[in-house]
Amino acid sequence: MHRIGLIGCGWFAAFHLKAFQSQSHRTNIVWVADAVMESAQRVAHTVGARAIADYREGLSEVDAVVILLPHHLHRDVAVECLRAGKHVLLEKPMSITLAEADDMIAAAEASRRTLMIAYPHRYRRSMQTFKQLVTHEQHGPLVMLDGFMDESLQGYSLGWLSKRSTLGGGVYFSSSPHMLDVMLWIAGPVRHVSMVGTRGRLPMEGEDTAACVIKFESDVIGVTRHTWMSPKSTIWYTMRAMCRDAWITLTTTPVGDLIKDGPTCPWRTRIEVLSAEGSTTVLDSDEGLDLEPEVAHFLDCVETGATPQTSGQVGRQLIELVQTAYRQASQVGANVP
């Protein structure tokens, strides 16, 4: 049994707890921690764990921790947990700076513990089917990947999301790497990246809407578009692949209100293939933002010592890619000042 501690009992905690509970044959959630004790107590109650305000008090009782904190806290907490000999599943993005990412990678190597960055999408069953359809080339070689995330944060209290010092940037820094991770996984190393950003409505320092273009060394083109200021999310996440002979489209849509419903929000996920011969639905399921495959992979890596697919190095690579694009955009005035 892996004894688990969860650090950070905010909006996303319920998704992780649901995933760890689905692995209850090999995990036991011992405690949940939050600097705001009422938040820890509210979450602890739902899973029958102990609530603590300071995670350091509980470190000796667990084998692994999941860290769900504002981004500027990731490095210090992860390094402390790794140095204490704990395996770490750390929410994305890994850190705000590359130096912070390096500290975490070094701490994981020194303690010989698993450090995995929580980029869930490549672990989803639907995304694995999508990748197979794209890379097995039964529809011809891949030419372009086009990702779109439509998230509606209008009307919600942004708190630390509104500041560059705590978020790390804007929507492109915080959330577009979900799409970038999948694209790098499918299309390989990047030759060139550029981004543009704007602030449509949200009261935040960084951009609330961003687009990015990538040229991969494989000659594939990648495009991402992402907004947090959507008046109403029409879909949540679409990843399209244009291959020589067909469009392959994966769409994941919340059927309820994702922000209010959390992990109980119902979903619909579809994969469609559109070619000159017509359209075929390859998959139609209720899979949504389900973290179980990601958590299962983390536990497998802890048990076998294997390097996670979304290792510290992968997390660092995504920070570097986003920062490269930010730097170029600021030189030519292509993002918000």
Nearer to ligand NAD, 129 or 166 (CB): 166
- Distance from C-alpha of 193 to C-alpha of 199, rounded to nearest angstrom: 21
- Distance from C-alpha of 265 to C-alpha of 188, rounded to nearest angstrom: 33
| DSSP annotation of 33 | E
Nearer to ligand NAD, 52 or 273 (CB): 52
Q: Does 9 help bind ligand NAD (rule: CB under 6 A)?
A: yes
Question: In this chain, which stretch among 7-15, 134-142, 218-226, 269-277 interacts with ligand NAD, using CB under 6 A?
Answer: 7-15
Q: Does 229 help bind ligand NAD (rule: CB under 6 A)?
A: no
Looking at beta carbons, which residue is closest to ligand NAD? 10
Q: Does 36 help bind ligand NAD (rule: CB under 6 A)?
A: yes
Nearer to ligand NAD, 60 or 304 (CB): 60
Closest CA to 91 of 189, 183, 168, 186: 168
Q: Does 185 help bind ligand NAD (rule: CB under 6 A)?
A: no
Strand 27-33 vs strand 50-52: parallel, antiparallel, or unpaired? Answer: parallel
Q: Does 8 help bind ligand NAD (rule: CB under 6 A)?
A: yes
Nearer to ligand NAD, 35 or 283 (CB): 35
Q: Does 105 help bind ligand NAD (rule: CB under 6 A)?
A: no
Q: Cβ atoms within 10 A of the Cβ of 24, count?
A: 11
Q: Cβ atoms within 10 A of the Cβ of 143, count?
A: 12
Instruction: Show the DSSP H helices in the chain as ranges.
Output: 13-22, 37-47, 74-83, 98-111, 125-135, 164-167, 171-174, 177-187, 258-261, 292-304, 312-331
Q: Does 174 help bind ligand NAD (rule: CB under 6 A)?
A: yes
Binders of ligand NAD in range 37-96 (CB under 6 A): 39, 68-71, 73, 91-92
Contacts to ligand NAD by CB under 6 A: 7-13, 33-36, 39, 68-71, 73, 91-92, 120, 159, 174
